[in-house]
Structure 1
Amino acid sequence: MEIESSLHLQQQIARLQALLDTTHRIHSTIELDSVLRSVLQITVRELEMAGAFFTTFPFSYGDIPPRFLLHPPSSDPRRGCYRFPLLDRHGSTLTEMVVITRDGAPLSLYEQDFLEHLAIQAAVAIENARYHEQTLDMERVKQDLSCARDIQRSLLPQVFPDIPGYSIDGRSQTCYEVGGDYLDLIKLPSGELMVVVADVAGKGLASALVGSSFRAALRAMANSEMPLVDMATNMNLLHYKEGEESRRRYVTAMFLRLDPKTHTVEVVNAGHNPAFLLNGSDVPELIEASGTPVGMLPFSSYTAENYVLSDKAKLLIYTDGMTEVFQGDEEFGQDRLMEAFRASRHTDATGTLNSIWRTLDAFSNQENQSDDMTALVIGRKP
């Protein structure tokens, strides 16, 4: 009896040691392919099974016999086929390990117990490997978004033009890493300055891609000297023809051409928020939309408005993120933005923008913004 008891104890110790060694081997890697391969090697080589494989997508793995490809085997101990489910921490099945014994022999109690414990450890290792892969994927996405953010920022005006008699400055803040707001200033051969402030419907990477396409098309047309109405019309048709996805990402845009020699501006508002113009009066004039957003409809007509800028005139062009700042459930709104612009006593563009941003920050208590925010101020120096 003592000899049998001692042999039994030695067998138990050997089993535990084998399980510990197996556990160590399985958890020594965080690569999913290596985990799956290691489990199958342990099953086939050390337990001397005829075959083993994982079934159930997405973890179908191993040398699956042809007869099992179309008809997954059911657990049938009489034919030496056993299935061991691998469960995640919530009890859901990750996959199943199918074990085929040699010559259809039944599993011993030791083999059955070993494989059940192996399935538990394999499930933990698979979850860890999946988490590791997801973490790597997230890091890659973060790096890509960081690069996209740097590229998008580099496309914004880095230095605003120094035009005698004028003060010009702009600011753009994205809600996420990249955004759909667009701001551009282009000096024309005629000496005029073209200004475009636009907002792609939506936020994030998709809107940023559409914004880059919009920028490329605009810059290709900018030096053609075509009237702003024709430019808006051509941009609209071009954007619409790019397909259904682009139409969902239509663009509201404000096109402006400033002639500093004659102090005149030509403006086309394509479905954009009304610009505010202080032009010799303490009450801002609204430059409303004269047509639909770019890319929304195949044919849209636009009209241009022309203004002569008086001494100390100031113009604010902005995207709707400036009005969609919230304090709880209360929106900042167009009227508050117009009042913040009107109330600013700064004669220069930078001071005016700083004043508006302070007002926005005070209203929102510097909570996270819900949309991209872009604003441009053009002021005529006294």
Structure 2
Amino acid sequence: MLLYAVFSSLVTLFNLPTSSVFEQKLTEAISFQKLSQSIKPGEDEEQVLDILMDSCMSAAYVDAAWLELYPSEPEQSSKIQLQKFISNGERQEVMTLLKRSAPFASYFNGQTTDRTEYLYGHIPHEIYKSVLVLPVSANKKKLGDIFLLKEVKDGFNKEMINIISTFAGQTSISIENHRLLNEAIRNERYREELEIAQRVQRSLLPSELHHNDCFEIDGFSAAADEVGGDYYETYRFDKNNFALIIGDVSGKGTSAAFNMSQMKGVFHSLVQLNLPPKDFLSKANNALSRCLEKNNFITTTYYTISTLTKEINFARAGHCPTLYYSREKDISRFLNIKGMGLGIVRNDGYENYLEEGYLKYQPGDVMVMYTDGIVEAKNKDNQEFGYDKLRLLLDGLKDFQAMEIKSKIVEEVYDFVGRETLPDDDYSILVIKFKA
């Protein structure tokens, strides 16, 4: 009985350290599992960092800890988060000592590389004697540092440091995956919204260009970005009278497309009043000045056509001059009249910057309306397509129908720029050929 009791005592005595080791390993395994499963779509990164802190503290039996996050913007200050079992005053004291003590001083003074895995050392603090600092990063960008403190001088052994480093590495991978997933979700949402914007923009351009048997009309528009800011439209007052407009919003992309939709609304509101072109642009400027941002403007030209009297009246608000081919004179010329863009002058004096043009057309005449993307298109040598090239091109296409003239001009522009080259600006063109 005595011998049995002695052996039992010895077995129990030698088994205690082993049990504590198994218990510690079990705790570490559970912590690692929690850490691995902590990130789910939509969860906050702060929750993951909180789990990391708890895992590190339980694995190393630390007495105090805090997490310091780096600012996302240079002008912002660092953010102290998840401070546990330490006061602000003690934390500041420890931080002051770290900046003076090796090996921490070189790290916090910016003298070490970004590949630092951890820093471990002693500090002359009256409470906390040993400190372990672990950088946390994601996507090769440092997020912050974890500070683990113990009251004993040699509080962290090699095994503890390896375990904690593993936790930090797993957290970095989890946060990186979380960010990549969120970025993919945002990109998918952006793509869907962009498709909606493209459908909306296509609906803003007319599906039908109004005309009668006295003239042909055809148009083309292509955006430099996914959506653009070029706009053209027609309106039929009666069987002999028509209105046309072509415009270009400053800028590109979704903001330009939004302003283009505003221009469309203004056009449909004012065109029904059957105003002279100069009055139309003056009222359009008043309306758009209330909704356009101060750094935005719209260039446009507005036309009214009467096939009964064969008259064209037009006014130009800073837009590219209309190219007109006269069959009688057998020459093409630009219709240059005075005008300033809508939204530049935002007062009643805007009308003084406008001029109204007038001409009578003859059968065989051709009118080409376009945006600046056509004449400012550049080739690989940085040369512009230019006004002269457009004019000479029309002289050679004068006998073709409106649709053919439009198509050949567009093809010439794309050939000049290069089929594989992305355009710098939106391309839009309207061609009218008068028959009677």
Task: Bin the TM-score by the shorter chain.
Answer: 0.7 to 0.9
Do 1:185 and 1:194's aligned partners in 2 also have CA atoms closer than 8 Å? yes
SS of residue in 1 equivalent to 2:338: coil
Do 2:59 and 2:163's aligned partners in 1 also have CA atoms closer than 8 Å? no
Do 1:26 and 1:35's aligned partners in 2 also have CA atoms closer than 8 Å? no
- 161-170 or 114-123: bigger deviation: 114-123
1:217 paired with 2:266, answer yes
Do 1:36 and 1:61's aligned partners in 2 also have CA atoms closer than 8 Å? no
Write the mapping of 1:236-255 to structure 2, written as runs, cut at 5 A: 236-242=285-291, 246-255=293-302
Structure 1 residue corresponding to 2:318, chosen from 271, 274, 281 = 271
Q: Normalising by the residue count of structure 2, what TM-score does the alignment of the two structures yield?
A: 0.74
Residues 104, 148 of structure 1: CA spacing in aligned structure 2 closer, same or farther, 3 A cutoff? farther
Q: What are the superposed Cα offsets for residues 337-373 of structure 1, whole Å, 9 maximum, x if unpaired?
A: 1222221145422111111112122222312211100
Quote the residue 1:355 is aligned against: 408
Query: 2:183 and 2:403 mapped to 1: Cα distance?
Result: 44
Quote the residue 2:137 is aligned against: 87
1:291 paired with 2:339, answer yes
Quote the residue 1:282 is aligned against: 330
Shift of 1:117: 2.7
1:176 paired with 2:189, answer no
Q: What are the superposed Cα offsets for residues 164-186 of structure 1, whole Å, 9 maximum, x if unpaired?
A: 22111111000001111111112
SS of residue in 1 equivalent to 2:273: coil
SS of residue in 1 equivalent to 2:232: strand
Quote the residue 2:32 is aligned against: 22
Do 2:31 and 2:55's aligned partners in 1 also have CA atoms closer than 8 Å? no
Quote the residue 1:326 is aligned against: 378
Task: For structure 2, list consecutive stretches of 5 or more residues without a partner in the other structure.
Answer: 1-13, 73-77, 99-122
- 280-289 or 370-379: bigger deviation: 280-289
AA partner of residue 297 (structure 2): Y
AA partner of residue 249 (structure 1): N
- 50-59 or 119-128: bigger deviation: 50-59
SS of residue in 2 equivalent to 1:151: helix
Shift of 1:39: 2.4
Do 2:337 and 2:355's aligned partners in 1 also have CA atoms closer than 8 Å? no
Residues 282, 231 of structure 1: CA spacing in aligned structure 2 closer, same or farther, 3 A cutoff? same
Superposition CA RMSD, Å = 3.5
Query: 2:298 and 2:57 mapped to 1: Cα distance?
Result: 61
Query: 2:80 and 2:257 mapped to 1: Cα distance?
Result: 39
Residues 108, 81 of structure 1: CA spacing in aligned structure 2 closer, same or farther, 3 A cutoff? closer
Q: What are the superposed Cα offsets for residues 188-247 of structure 1, whole Å, 9 maximum, x if unpaired?
A: 35852211111111211221122222222222111112221111112223333446xx23
Task: For structure 1, list consecutive stretches of 5 or more residues without a partner in the other structure.
Answer: none
Quote the residue 1:134 is aligned against: 183
AA partner of residue 236 (structure 2): K
Shift of 1:290: 1.5
Shift of 1:15: 6.0
Do 1:217 and 1:235's aligned partners in 2 also have CA atoms closer than 8 Å? yes
Quote the residue 2:364 is aligned against: 312
Query: 1:371 and 1:86 mapped to 2: Cα distance?
Result: 44
SS of residue in 2 equivalent to 1:296: coil
Do 2:132 and 2:148's aligned partners in 1 also have CA atoms closer than 8 Å? yes
Structure 1 residue corresponding to 2:355, chosen from 295, 303, 326 = 303
SS of residue in 1 equivalent to 2:313: strand
Quote the residue 1:39 is aligned against: 52
Query: 2:237 and 2:89 mapped to 1: Cα distance?
Result: 67
Query: 2:90 and 2:61 mapped to 1: Cα distance?
Result: 26
Q: Normalising by the residue count of structure 1, what TM-score does the alignment of the two structures yield?
A: 0.83
